[in-house]
């Protein structure tokens, strides 16, 4: 499966902003066999970046042990309606994607 769509929600909580981001990705471990018995090559997201109004607030490195179609929740200090949140990822094949949303 190629990487598909992403989805994100950013909501103002009490004293922080709740960010939930969903990404379509197979997160192949490289240990799994397909129905024909062939090893499915490793294919997984390695880097994840969260930015608020253009400034990086979280940098993450992840492994193939994160579940398929990853879902992450983060919390940002304070925040205001309309703040621009951007999440991007990069995988071990050099593929990447990004999504933007405004805090609601």
Partner 1 sequence: MRLAVFGAALVFSCAASGQDVAKEIQRYRQMVAEGSPAELFELEGEALWKKAQGPKNGSFERCDLGEGPGVLKGAYAHLPRYFKDADRVMDLEARLLYCMSTLQGRSRDDATARVFGSADRPSEFELLSIYVAGQSRGVRIEPGMAHPKEKASYELGRALFFHRVGAWDFSCASCHGEEGKRIRMQELPVLYKPQYARPVMASWPAYRVSTSQVITLQWRMNDCYRQMRTPEPTFGSETTVALIHFLTATARGETYGGPGNKR
Partner 2 sequence: MNPLRRTLVSLLALAIAKPLAALAAWNKEAFSAKTPGDALKGLGIGNAAPSKDLQIEAPEIAENGAVVPIEISSAIAGTSSLIVMIEKNPFPLTARFDFKEGALPFVKLNVKMGETSDVRVLAEAAGKYYTATKEIKVTIGGCGG
Binding site for partner 2 (CB under 8 A): 2-6, 16, 29, 31, 46-47, 49-50, 52, 55-68, 70-77, 88, 90, 94-100
CA–CA distance, 20 with 35 (Å, rounded to integer) = 34
Distance CA(22)–CA(29), nearest Å, equals: 19
What residue 12 binds from partner 1, partner 2, none (CB within 5 to 8 A, per partner kind)? none
- Residue 100's closest CA among 25, 35, 21? 21
Given partner 2, partner 1, none, residue 33, with its beta carbon under 5 to 8 Å by kind, binds partner 1
- On the 0-12 / 13-18 / 19+ scale of CB atoms within 10 A, 29 is middle
Site for partner 1 in 67-96 (CB under 8 A): 67-71, 73
| Shortest reach from residue 9's CB to partner 2, in Å | 13
38 scored as a contact of partner 1 (CB under 8 A): no
Measured from the Cβ of residue 44, the count of other Cβ atoms closer than 10 Å reads 20
Which residues contact partner 1 by CB under 8 A? 1, 4-7, 22-24, 26, 29, 31-33, 65, 67-71, 73
């Amino acid at each position: 499966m190629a990487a598909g769509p992403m989805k994100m929600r950013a909501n103002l909580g009490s004293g922080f902003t709740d960010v939930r981001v969903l990404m379509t990705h197979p997160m192949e471990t490289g240990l799994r066999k397909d129905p024909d018995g062939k090893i499915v090559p490793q294919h997984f997201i390695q880097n994840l970046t969260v930015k608020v109004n253009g400034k990086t607030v979280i940098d993450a490195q992840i492994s193939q042990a994160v579940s398929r179609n990853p879902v992450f929740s983060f919390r940002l200090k304070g925040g205001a309606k309309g703040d621009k949140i951007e999440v991007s990822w990069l995988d071990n094949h050099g593929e990447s994607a990004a999504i933007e949303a405004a805090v609601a």
